[in-house]
Amino acid sequence: MAFWWPLLVLVFAYAICKFLLMLIPPNVPSIEVDTSDVVDDGTHARDNSFIYIPPRGRTQQIDRKVQCYEPATMKYLGHFPALPPSEVKECVAQARKAQKIWASSSFKKRRQFLRILLKYIIEHQDLICEISSRDTGKTMVDASLGEIMTTCEKITWLLSDGEKWLKPEYRSSGRSMLHKRSKVEFYPIGVVGAIVSWNYPFHNLFNPMLAAVFSGNSIVIKVSEHASWSGCFYFRIIQAALAAVGAPENLVGVITGFAETGEALVSAVDKIIFVGSPGVGKQIMRNASDTLIPVTLELGGKDAFIVCEDVDVSHVAQVAVRASLQSSGQNCAGAERFYVHKDIYSKFICEVSKIVKSVTAGPPLMGKYDMGAICVHEHSEKLQNLVDDALDKGAEIIARGSFGNLGEDAVDHFFPPTVIVNANHSMKLMKEEAFGPIMPIMKFSTDEEAIRLANDSNYGLGCAVFSGSQSRAKEIASQIHCGVAAVNDFASNYMCQSLPFGGVKHSGFGRFAGVEGLRACCLVKSVVEDRWWPYIKTKIPKPIQYPVAENGFEFQESLVEMLYGLSIWDRLRALVNVLKLISEHKPSSSSKRRSD
Ligand SMILES: *[C@@H]1O[C@H](CO)[C@@H](O)[C@H](O)[C@H]1NC(C)=O
Ligand SMILES: *[C@@H]1O[C@H](CO)[C@@H](O)[C@H](O)[C@H]1NC(C)=O
Ligand SMILES: *[C@@H]1O[C@H](CO)[C@@H](O)[C@H](O)[C@H]1NC(C)=O
């Protein structure tokens, strides 16, 4: 007994110390980011805040400038250059130099970089959300959910688990290589390129940047021409954090422009991540085939939302409306098709209609609105066409939300939340990605029918299945051909940042986020070495050394049986034979064999 208690005291003291250390906040420096030209502080209005009238079509590309304005008010925000290919190449060359230095940085330093960003984000949530809201038209709550929470979750996951997944991973060596040690090593790939969409300008910029930089790469990101103003501001946060940890300043590049700028980026980097439409995704893959770089394509979806008859309808109705209206429906993994069991169909549409009717859309920073604007003005026309097509084919609008006080100039940028019933697969609304606040609802009778309908799509990104029986919901989800499945919830997968995100079919391939996304930024190298070096070194067995012995093939036959035979007795017999063949080995000359 007397020997034990000092040990117990030590363990106890250690636990107490660990706990006390947890109470000390980490020492993370704050960064200063210049906001003077992006925030209206009321004392001086920004010079350029006139109403902007965007030219129709692609004429804006002619003057080689990306024009930025607030979709919800049409206030002008400024312009950015459309970078010509030569400047894109230069930016990538700078990033390449920076990466050489960063590649040898410690994980401790990389984590400090993440903590500095996290601290800034938490202290400036309102600023980040307001900038996103102004540039894309989403509400502050939509921005908090899609920009802030997702990014904080990603940073926190990288802080706690990132290093573990980038360390060498040991694997089994198999039978013939039992005397070897085999492992996978993860090296940075070099300069990662990302071309990202406008729907979440903060998260879409930070998400690939965090994974690339944490795994030792540099990255150049082309932000969307529809969200360049916010992207360029968010870039300043990254630059300030890089400076604070003493990282090379060109480790991260953010560039603006149109297709030409994006193509030049694809041709210059070592890997490309693209978030956008299938049409552009194909173009990117074509261009990437010139340099044979890996591509990750996240091309949107037409996600099914399935509701069985044994659910708590009023709860699921709330989730359904959020799944459809979050960010005015402009989500790659938004719910776009609703399949509801016939027994609760009328109850469900009644609940959903009640909620949607209570939703008011308006300019998010000018009042309390539940939903914001549509980011790109041509887009409301497309949404209207989808609705018209569905109405022509027998669907019916049963509920719409209302508009708040919309400025006359911005009406094109709003679309009312709309519930549509009697939908079926003859309608474009059930086939094409809408990317808008529309809820088409269709009835089903059996689980098989729901699966068949959900599966009947060119896309395969995600699905959400609701049932009072968890196992029934899981069974349905398991049969839908897609990359992301939420059981009795919506989009919860995206909040688990350890999980990969991506789809099949026209939703693209490759994964970002999670372990798979982090490792996808790496050169994956398999390494084999002698396990008991220098005591046991590998030699080629005598019978198959050059010149090959006469019993060379016989030796191979026995060796194969010894290693892989199904019966232990056959294997032992083969082992004896192998030993015999090695000992009786006599070299033969090939000339002798030919004359036989
Ligand atoms: C990308 O591909 C298109 C057509 O496939 C081609 O016209 C263009 O020159 C390519 N861009 C680059 C930068 O290689
Ligand atoms: C879709 O619904 C319309 C109207 O109810 C009907 O005429 C049409 O046959 C349906 N199409 C399919 C493919 O079920
Ligand atoms: C779902 O679709 C995939 C391919 O699109 C197909 O291979 C699979 O058999 C389908 N499953 C069901 C249950 O329909």
pLDDT for res 475? 98
Tell me which ligand sits closest to the C-alpha of residue 507: 3
Q: What is the pLDDT of residues 316-331, one digit of tens each?
A: 999 999 999 999 999 9
Cα 427 to middle of ligand 1, angstroms: 35
Tokens of 461: 């990104």
Out of 396, 420, 424, give the residue to mutate to test ligand 2, the one with the largest number of ligand atoms within 8 Å of its CB: 424
Q: Do 380 and 445 belong to one domain?
A: yes
CA 461 to chain centre: 11
> Catalytic residue at 70?
no
Indicate whether residue 476 lines ligand 3 (CB < 6 A). Answer: no
- Residue 394 Cα to ligand 2 middle (Å): 7
Identify the CATH number of the domain in which residue 362 sits.
Answer: 3.40.309.10
Average pLDDT, the chain: 94
Query: Do 97 and 242 belong to one domain?
Result: yes
Nearest CA to ligand 1 atom 11: 263
Ligand 1 center from residue 264 Cα (angstroms): 9
Q: Domain check: are 90 and 109 in the same one?
A: yes
Does residue 72 belong to any structural domain of this protein?
no
Which atom, in ligand 3's list, is nearest to the CA of 480? 1
Note the pLDDT of residue 41. Answer: 59
Q: Is the CB of 479 under 6 A from ligand 3?
A: yes
Distance 431 CA to ligand 2 centre (A): 14
216 shares its domain with 159: yes
Residue with tokens 């198959």: 544
Cis previous bond, 534, omega within 30: yes
Is pLDDT above 90 for 391? Answer: yes
Give residue 55's pLDDT band: very low, low, confident or very high (50, 70, 90).
Answer: confident
Distance CA 506, CA 418 (A): 26
Which domain does 564 fall in, by range? 539-595
Residue 511 included in any domain: no
In this structure, the answer to whether residues 577 and 448 fall within a common structural domain is no
Tens digits of residue pLDDT in 20-42: 988 888 899 999 999 988 886 55
pLDDT tens for each residue of 240-264? 999 999 999 999 999 999 999 999 9
- Do both 121 and 250 map to the same domain? yes
Tokens 């009795």 found at: 488
- Do 291 and 422 lie in a common domain? no
C-alpha span between 413 and 130 (Å, rounded): 18
Q: Measuring from each residue's beta carbon to the nearest atom of ligand 2, which residues come in under 6 Å?
A: 393-394, 422, 424-426
Paired sense of beta strands 180-188 and 522-530, if any: antiparallel
SS3 at position 92: helix
C-alpha distances in angstroms, 557 versus 212, 354, 570? Answer: 48, 75, 12
Q: What is the pLDDT of residues 68-95, one digit of tens each?
A: 999 999 999 999 999 999 999 999 999 9
Per-residue confidence band for 123, with pLDDT thresholds at 50, 70 and 90: very high
Check if the beta carbon of residue 266 is closer than 8 Å to that of residue 287.
yes
> In the chain, how many domains are there?
3
Mean pLDDT calculated for residue range 152-181: 97
pLDDT at 195 over 80: yes
- Identify the helix (H) or strand (E) that includes residue 217: none
In terms of Cα–Cα distance, which of 327, 596, 337 is closest to 463?
337
Q: Same structural domain for residues 286 and 307?
A: no
Q: Which of 298, 336, 433, 561 is catalytic?
A: 298
> Distance (Å, rounded) from C-alpha 264 to C-alpha 267?
5
| pLDDT band at 44; cut points 50, 70, 90 | very low
Point out the ligand 2 atom lying closest to the alpha carbon of residue 426. 13
In the reported structure, the alpha carbon of residue 83 is separated from the centroid of ligand 1 by a whole-number distance in angstroms of 16
Longest dimension (CA), the chain: 102
Same domain, 265 and 404: no
- Which ligand number lies closest to the CA of residue 389? 2
Question: Which-ligand-closest: CA of 261?
Answer: 1
